[in-house]
Amino acid sequence: MRYSIFSDQVDVSLVEAKCYEVGATDVKLAPRIRQVFCELLPEQAAKLQGYGFKVKEIKSIKTAQIMVPVEEYGVTEVGLNITDVFGAFRSAFTPPLTGDGLTIAVLDSGIRKTHFAFVGEKIVYEEVFSEAETPDDVYGHGTGVAYLAAGGVHGDVNAGVAPGAKIMNLKCLNDDGEGTDEMVVAAIDRVCDLVENARAGGKSLTDPLYPNVINISLGAEDDGDEDSPVRVACRTAVDEYGLQVIAAAGNGGDRPGTIMLPACDPKVVAVGGLLSDYFMIWEQSSRGPTADGNIKPDFVVWATSIHMADNTGDTAYTVKSGTSFSTPILSGLIGLIWELGRRNFGDPWYVSWYDVENVGEAVCVKPKDAPIQKDNTYGYGMPALNVMIKGATQPAVTTTDVVSMMMPMMLLMMVVPMMGRMRG
């Protein structure tokens, strides 16, 4: 059986040595995350536990998507086209915002990099961490995720939230959309390694090879184990490497306690899903609390009938639903706000969703019947762009000022003209 072995007390090299000492085979390291993966017999695993190490069986992990059956529609004849929403927002600034300077590591089923949405130097890094032979998206999930975050070019009919951002393609699922804890941790470890390499090379946060966000549109059941390998890896990525880890809440609603791992972890930004034609929660969006009692999700974004690039052809588009696709919308959005802040305050200015959470109740919106405070259905709610813009353009904004700016709700108003076009 395969295990992850790690310790909070000793160096990973000592953990590795002890694994060999008890007879472990097929030993592999995730050095930045400080985990060792190996094959062990039950008695060998017990011996390592006796040393005080944490010994965890490797579990499976999958995409968090719900596929929406659709016929062959034209490119813009069905679904919520993110371009229609964010294209207008980006164009409201001179020069237009594009998310330039943001690099998103997409941990998924791969990406069809020959797709028109990824031409040029959009994808700056690729690596496979599953048993798949290539980083291409055979399964049909990662292409859509990457597109929604950063696909296309500003001004095109089809573009993601932050088309000026860069993408790292870390394929941690196989061609059936399945993977393991080990594959995901190995991919997170590599992202941390890329951060360390960028730091050592004196690169700025806006360098294409300096990843800022990890997008995880996949997950497993939350078993309440805060020491699960993936949760430990996510916390290390956040605490030691300054990464934002943004993960799908899951599609297990509307029952309480259905938030997936790793979105269940307090250090991971969990994204739930809204209906795309009404401002209310999608019935299949997972709800909190988590197994260890935390309120989740953190934010909610559109999740149903989303128009996106498809892996079946270089000009193919499709419509899908799921919190898998809410997640990259939030990943891309932080790039627009960050870019706007840099324009006003210079390159040292930085913002993350963890910063937003500190004032979440003041910068997000919910339906009138939802609790004002963070709750287990909407979290803080849907980020209100007009409020976030204010924070990125004025040095001092008090809580009272922020609350007073809630009324326009620019982001929601952008959706109104599209309501008649929703189908599926």
**Residues involved in catalysis:** 108, 141, 324
Tokens of 211: 């990843």
DSSP E strand boundaries for 64-194: 103-108, 123-128, 166-171, 178-180
Burial class of 153 by CB neighbour count within 10 A (0 to 12, 13 to 18, 19+): middle
Half-sphere exposure at residue 422, Cβ-oriented, CA atoms within 13 angstroms = 17
As a dihedral over the C-alpha atoms of residue 153, residue 156, residue 161, residue 164, rounded to 10 degrees, the angle is: 20
Residues 375, 355: Cα–Cα separation, whole Å: 18
User: Which residue, 178, 9, 162, 188, is CA-closest to 87?
Assistant: 162
The overall longest dimension of the chain from CA atoms, in Å, is 66
User: Which residue, 317, 339, 338, is CA-closest to 147?
Assistant: 317
- Angle 268-118-212 from CA coordinates, rounded to 5°: 30
Cβ contacts of 357 within 8 Å, gap of 6 or more: 269, 298, 380
Backbone angles phi, psi at 326, to 5 degrees: -70, -40
Q: The dihedral of CA 124, 233, 222, 55: what is its sign?
A: positive
Q: Are strands 213-216 and 166-171 parallel, antiparallel or unpaired?
A: unpaired
CA distances to 350, 392, 393, 417 from 343, rounded to whole Å, are 11, 9, 8, 30
Helix (H) or strand (E) holding 40: none
